[in-house]
Amino acid sequence: MKKKKQKVNAAILIIGNEILSGRTQDKNTAFISNWLNTSCGINVEEVRIIPDVEKTIIKNIKKLSNKFNYVFTTGGIGPTHDDITSKSIAKAFKLKYGYNEEAFKILENYYGKKKFNDGRKKMAKMPRGAKLIYNPSSAAPGFMTKNILSLPGVPSILNSMIENCKRFLIKGSRVHSKTLNLFTVESNISERLGLIQKKYKKYVDIGSYPFFRLGKIGVSIVSRSTSKDKLLKVNKDLLELVKNKKIKILKI
């Protein structure tokens, strides 16, 4: 008998003044969220972006840790004074903050004893008991504390580490999606679309998103569900609506 998979959820906590101020465009949310769903069947249900302020980090870590199965943090684990994620997580859980032996060895080996200065040593400091998330690009590991997985903020480095998170995660049921791109406006289909959503309320989430492509206005209808069968049923109903309203489909 196939074991029924459970729902597993996560939150993302983006830590960094540069994202809040608008100086840097966050790219980690979309990447992590996509990866979690397709590779682990984990659904991201909340994202927060907060400043590099210890009190704020602690409060949010506690809150999200209680509320979700996993919390992914990005940013604040580098060598400079504004990198305070590790210390804040230690404080949030009342854990000792100090050198992680394995991380220390990895970094010492990577930089060589001579170049292993205080800034670099700082990247080996973690909450006691943290499990390492290895970093194939630039050595400095991320780490897992309780249900919190801490990754760096630089997207290319984060992306290279994400597969190393997998061994820490329980798999859930993947959300599948199907998109229908229509050359119409939302208000032309909103009523019928609402009825279809009502019919499949329990199983499928239907979203409607305007787009502008090839100089034309359109609407993408995105259906999401853990059941492929239910998605096919919704798609059949949608295609009937499209046929009735004589709407053109954009094939891409």
Q: Distance of alpha carbon 177 from its chain centroid, rounded?
A: 17
Question: Whose Cβ is closer to a second copy: residue 29's or residue 235's?
Answer: 29
Do 230 and 196 touch, CB atoms closer than 8 A? no
Do 183 and 247 touch, CB atoms closer than 8 A? yes
Tell me the closest approach of the beta carbon of residue 70 to a second copy, in angstroms. Answer: 15
How many amino acids of this chain bind a second copy (CB under 8 A)? Answer: 63
Question: Whose Cβ is closer to a second copy: residue 128's or residue 136's?
Answer: 136
Question: According to CB under 8 A, which residues from 132 to 161 bind a second copy?
Answer: 153-154, 156
Tell me the closest approach of the beta carbon of residue 35 to a second copy, in angstroms. Answer: 8
175 makes contact with a second copy (CB under 8 A): yes
Question: According to CB under 8 A, which residues from 90 to 129 bind a second copy?
Answer: 117-120, 122
Question: According to CB under 8 A, which residues from 202 to 231 bind a second copy?
Answer: 205-210, 212, 222, 224
| CA–CA gap between residue 186 and residue 209 (Å, rounded) | 8
**How far, CA to CA in Å, does 72 sit from each of 85, 153, 204?**
12, 11, 26
Question: According to CB under 8 A, which residues from 18 to 57 bind a second copy?
Answer: 18-27, 29-34, 37, 44-52
Say how many C-beta atoms besides its own lie within 10 A of residue 50's C-beta: 19
Dmax over CA atoms of the chain, in Å, equals 74
Beta strands in the chain (DSSP E): 8-15, 42-50, 70-74, 97-99, 125-127, 131-135, 139-145, 148-151, 176-183, 205-213, 216-225, 248-249
Tell me the closest approach of the beta carbon of residue 114 to a second copy, in angstroms. Answer: 13
Question: According to CB under 8 A, which residues from 55 to 84 bind a second copy?
Answer: 78-82
Question: Whose Cβ is closer to a second copy: residue 1's or residue 25's?
Answer: 25
Do 51 and 17 touch, CB atoms closer than 8 A? yes
Q: Can you read off the two tokens belonging to residue 207?
A: 């979203």
Question: Whose Cβ is closer to a second copy: residue 116's or residue 134's?
Answer: 116
Point out which span in 10-18, 94-102, 128-136, 243-251 binds a second copy (CB under 8 A): 10-18
Phi, psi of 243 (to 5 degrees): -65, -45
237 makes contact with a second copy (CB under 8 A): no
Torsion angle, alpha carbons of 118, 120, 121, 127, to 10: 130
Question: Whose Cβ is closer to a second copy: residue 94's or residue 212's?
Answer: 212
Tell me the closest approach of the beta carbon of residue 110 to a second copy, in angstroms. Answer: 12
Question: Whose Cβ is closer to a second copy: residue 92's or residue 189's?
Answer: 189
Tell me which residues touch a second copy (CB under 8 A).
Answer: 14, 16-27, 29-34, 37, 44-52, 78-82, 117-120, 122, 153-154, 156, 175, 177, 186-191, 193-194, 197-198, 205-210, 212, 222, 224
